[in-house]
Amino acid sequence: MSSRLAKKPIEIPKNVTVTAADGTLSVKGAKATLTRTFHSSVAITVEPEGVVIKAKNTSRLAHALTGTFAAHVKAMIQGVETPFKKVLQLNGVGYKVELKGTDLVFAVGFSHPVTLSIPEGITATVVKNVITVEGPDKHAVGQFAANVRAVKKPEPYLGKGIKYEDEVIRRKQGKKAV
């Protein structure tokens, strides 16, 4: 039994080079280069037909990790060609966000401004109340977007806070006057 993702070799596009050596996988594309270390119970080899991921032993962990690393490799190959993108919206009266150098500064109803520094390899742009996070590394983009959202999660009564563009907030009814 192995993962369905890892059964077939993962195709490598023409303008992308993939190298695997000493427990490290490196994917180089036109726009970016990504490297990731892989687990010792997984063997990753680069062959003419594509990247092949195999379990080194018959343990349950090794089988589980083949699919995980197949997904990582696919995301890396996709990311060096077209960057991953997450869009967040800031809702609330008087709430604002601005880009100062490599920091995002939020004014979201606290007694102090909240500062988040943008990690290397990721670009963040702010237009009015929309924050766009882009980068070649899917994990880093998703994690930074989650950190931004965690500054002020959307609340269910007025919908104030930071939410993903496609996120739907379940609204609750407020107090009723008798």
Contact 11, 74 (CB under 8 A): no
Q: Does residue 174 fall inside a structural domain?
A: no
Contact 81, 31 (CB under 8 A): yes
- Domain interval for residue 54: 4-81
Spell out the alpha helix ranges (H) of the chain: 4-7, 60-81, 138-151
Are 53 and 107 contained in the same domain? no
Give pLDDT tens digits along the chain (178 positions): 567 878 888 889 888 899 988 889 999 988 889 999 988 888 888 988 889 988 888 889 988 899 999 999 999 999 999 999 999 999 999 999 999 999 999 999 999 999 999 999 999 999 999 999 999 999 999 999 999 999 999 999 998 999 999 999 999 888 887 7
Residue showing tokens 């490290």: 24
Are 88 and 70 contained in the same domain? no
Are 157 and 91 contained in the same domain? yes
The number of domains in the chain is 2
Contact 76, 25 (CB under 8 A): yes
CATH number of the domain at 96, please: 3.90.930.12
Are 59 and 73 contained in the same domain? yes
Are 102 and 160 contained in the same domain? yes
Residue type, 51: V
- Looking at 81, 109, 126, the residue that finishes a domain is 81
Specify the pTM.
0.87
Are 63 and 89 contained in the same domain? no
